[in-house]
Amino acid sequence: MESNKESYESSIQKYKESLRFSNEKEFYERYKEFSQKKENRLHQITYEKEQIQVETKVLLQAEEAIKMAKIREVSSHYPDLRTAGRYLSYENALKLEKHVDIAKKTPVTLSVIEKAVKNQEDDLYKLKKDLKIFQTEKDHLNKIKDQITKLEKTEQELDKVTNSPSEAAKRLVSKKTRQHYEELQHEANHYRDNLKEKGYKGPEDLSKRQGEIKGLEEKVVPSIEKEIKAKEHTIKTISGIFDAIEQAARSEEHAQQRQQIRSTTINRSKKQGPDLSR
């Protein structure tokens, strides 16, 4: 018991020193003082929270006002957004703002944009078709090369059996050997006729045509590829304008439809009158 009392008194002494009181009266004075400080601090925190909420609300309202002003300003340059502009998103307004200079010079309507996209896509199709011509010709030359290789191989085998006395003797007595020789002759003639029909006599003609195609490819293909990239970029840009305007126009149309449904429902209810059976 004595030990507990000493421990208790020691703890009390520590609190007296840290909280600065020496008796019970001073203790309650300090307690009241700390309680008041705590209450004042809680009031201050509550006030600061309310101020932050008010300021945040004002900032959000200001931000919304700035966005709406931007939307109205941008919409004024696009005929289809004169009424649908209120349904234009801020993100789309920023996209359209980049092209206001064009809109100031030319009426940028959905029909005009749609026509422009089609024209660009037609041009792009032609460019890709021109580019494909080179690949088609290269594929054709590869087939010619393959036929020339086969002709050369057949001619080598044919020369071998033609210039061999032993093979010549075999053809006189062996039907199978004679038949194989005739097949080689037929195969060689087939390749020659096929190449002649396509304007090629041999490797020299092929090399000449390959050189011509390579020269044209080096001169023409880079410019075509550059035009293709430019067209694709233009189509992407114009399509982005179209999508932004169309989205706002559709939102306006849906809103009008909903309003019409509400009006029809209200008018129907008025005509029916109150239910007196209840």
Mean pLDDT of the chain: 85
Rama region for 153: left / alpha / beta (φ>0; ψ in -120 to 50; rest): alpha
Contacts of residue 27, defined as CB under 8 A and 6 or more positions apart, other chains included, come to: 19, 21
Percent of the chain with pLDDT strictly greater than 70: 88
Closest CA relative to residue 242, chosen from 115, 149, 150: 115
- Whether the Cβ atoms of residue 196 and residue 99 lie closer than 8 Å to each other: no
In sequence order, which residues have a C-beta less than 8 Å from that of residue 137 and are 6 or more positions away? 213
- Is residue 144 within 8 Å of 198, Cβ to Cβ? yes
Q: Where are the alpha helices (DSSP H) in the chain?
A: 2-19, 24-75, 90-97, 100-105, 110-162, 165-173, 175-197, 203-272
Question: Tens digits of per-residue pLDDT, 231-245?
Answer: 999 999 999 999 999
Q: How far apart are CA 78 and CA 84, in angstroms?
A: 10
- Short-list 249, 247, 242, CA closest to 120: 242
Radius of gyration of the chain (CA): 46
Residue 57 tokens, joined: 């609300």
DSSP-assigned letters across all residues of 252-277: HHHHHHHHHHHHHHHHHHHHH---TT
Average pLDDT over residues 221-234: 95
pLDDT in tens, 172-202: 888 888 898 888 899 989 988 888 888 888 8
* pLDDT for residue 7: 57
Token pair of 198 as six digits: 């396509």
Residue 124, pLDDT score: 96
CB-based contacts of 107: which residues, under 8 Å, 6+ apart? 79
Residue 52 binned pLDDT confidence (cut-offs 50, 70, 90): very high
CA separation (Å) from 61 to 53, 55, 57, 68, 93? 12, 10, 6, 10, 18
Nearest-angstrom CA–CA distance, 156 and 36: 114
pTM of the model: 0.64
Angle 110-162/203-272 helices, nearest 10 degrees?
A: 150
pLDDT of amino acid 14: 60
Burial 86-108 (b: 16+ CB within 10 A, else e): ebbeeebbebbeebeeebeeeeb
First to last CA, the chain: 84
DSSP assignment of 4-20: HHHHHHHHHHHHHHHHT
Give residues with Cβ within 8 angstroms of 205, minimum separation 6. 199
